[in-house]
Amino acid sequence: MSSLLGHVLLSYDLRNRHNEVKANMSKRGYYALITLGQNQYRLPNTTLYKNNVSTDQALIDLRDACLQEGATLEKAVAVIGAQWAAYDSGT
């Protein structure tokens, strides 16, 4: 169990109910974009960001959201980011 808090990126694969899980995670304070300097970047479709959370808590939140929404979670990874770079084609 990791209790280290930080800027967490959470990436996951679901079998179903993608929009419902993403909306549930948004209510829990997770974002589908990051801000770097003056620019905002959309994250890949099944990646979310939250500050001041542990990697363990991020996975717990995702599992709980999946249970609440009746989604099948196939796999997930949560990492604390220390240095950021981003690209978004805007499409």
Residue 35 resides in a domain: yes
Residue 60 resides in a domain: yes
pLDDT tens for the 91 residues of the chain, in order: 566 788 899 999 999 999 999 999 999 999 999 888 888 889 999 999 999 999 999 999 999 999 999 999 999 999 998 777 777 777 5
Written as six digits, the tokens of 27 are 């209510």
Residue 2 resides in a domain: no
Residue 54 resides in a domain: yes
Q: Which domain holds residue 55?
A: 16-80
Domain count, the chain: 1
Can you tell me the distance from the alpha carbon of 45 to that of 13, in angstroms, rounded to the nearest whole number? 10
Q: What does DSSP assign to residue 67? A: H
Residue 4 resides in a domain: no
The average confidence (pLDDT) of the chain is 91
Which SS3 state, helix, strand or coil, does residue 11 take?
strand
Residue 21 resides in a domain: yes
Per cent of the chain over pLDDT 90 is 71
Residue 86 resides in a domain: no
Residue 8 resides in a domain: no
